[in-house]
Amino acid sequence: MNIILLYGGQSAEHDISILSAHNIAQMITYEVYSVQPVMITRDGRWLQGPKLSAPPAYEGQLHLIKSEEASWGENASDTSYGVEISPCEIHQEDAIVFPVLHGPNGEDGTIQGFLETLGLPYVGAGVCASACGMDKIITKQLFDHVGIPQVPYIAFDRREWNEDPDALINKAEGSLLYPLFVKPANMGSSVGISRVEDSEALVQAINLALEYDHRIVVEQGINADEIEVAVLGNDDAHVSVVGRLVKGASFYDYEEKYINNTVDMEIPANIEESLSDTIREYALKAYRAIDGSGLARVDFFLTSNDDVYINEINTMPGFTQFSMYPVLWERTGLSQVDLVEELLQLAIRRHEQLAQKRVEY
């Protein structure tokens, strides 16, 4: 079987996606599969690289460019050459897609809908779950509906901000306490997120977030640890051990995550077993609330009083060497090679079940 490794994308998480794809390509069982790299460029072109029969030999092998676009003296270890194709050309028999795409135009249901139209099995959540999981406002509403505790927040869009910014600032400051966190509704990896302490910074943070999305969430900041768990499965989903992020910075932003890597992982988290069970139950509840399948990472806040608040759910979490999702399963007893294989099998089973339903109808 051929794995179509689809990565890159047009979101701000393009580079993270390439790192994730590189790590996943190291975990493929090449005695069973071949791997066809397909990178979506920042401007939306699809580049198909040479097929892999072994793990990538160097870090930049999955960073594809067209040969005519290579600059003089460009380091060959930083790139590899690809051929531009139309998106529908990825369709082939006996293939499965691993869409390692983070953020908008990849993790939000758009690619998933395209793959459904092509009739290709793919790893991860379906269209609805992907769209719901990407949108922080929708997920908050779903979590409210199923009774998972959350920190106080307000949400609004660009139109409301342009009409009366003072009213929204007053609303935020009247119902929430500083520090506040300002987030684009549809973005991941802490892109566009700011921690603010006063009105002036709040205005600047909202304007920054609006560069990434037209809908905004402003959340109550709390003094809490960040807790994460991994979910794996379709109807019979399982939850990993609980992990805690031990941070060297007050805010775990993009630079701290992927450049400085100042965050240590405490896995399993040193917390009471009953508390760990509660967090894992909430994670499974959140997964089912969005109709998740394949995989997800669910993030929580844990206060010094052992109060638990859900933060968000990620339907295609990062797979880089610094990413929590694969490490959580490794510490639970599932190797990264076996994890990737299980994800592929889950995708095939889900595709077969959906195909059977279509036949019945």
Handedness of CA 71, 73, 78, 83 (dihedral sign): positive
Q: Is 13 noted as a catalytic residue in this protein?
A: yes
Q: Residues at the annotated binding site?
A: 136, 181-183, 189-190, 219-226, 299, 311-312, 314
- Count the alpha carbons within 13 Å of 360 in the hemisphere toward its beta carbon: 6
Q: Residues at the annotated binding site for Mg(2+)?
A: 299, 312, 314
C-alpha span between 156 and 182 (Å, rounded): 11
Q: Is 67 noted as a catalytic residue in this protein?
A: no
Query: To which residue do tokens 């920042």 refer?
Result: 42
Nearest C-alpha neighbor of 209 from the set 223, 193, 226, 195:
193
Catalytic residue among 20, 130, 189, 276: 189
- Count the alpha carbons within 13 Å of 75 in the hemisphere toward its beta carbon: 7
Catalytic residue among 80, 130, 194, 323: 323
**What length does the chain have?**
361
C-alpha span between 276 and 62 (Å, rounded): 38
Supply 141's token pair.
Answer: 């509403």
DSSP-derived secondary structure letter, 258:
I
Which residues, other chains included, contact 191 with Cβ-Cβ below 8 Å and sequence gap of 6+?
A: 12, 13, 103, 184, 212, 254
Q: Report the catalytic residues.
A: 13, 189, 323
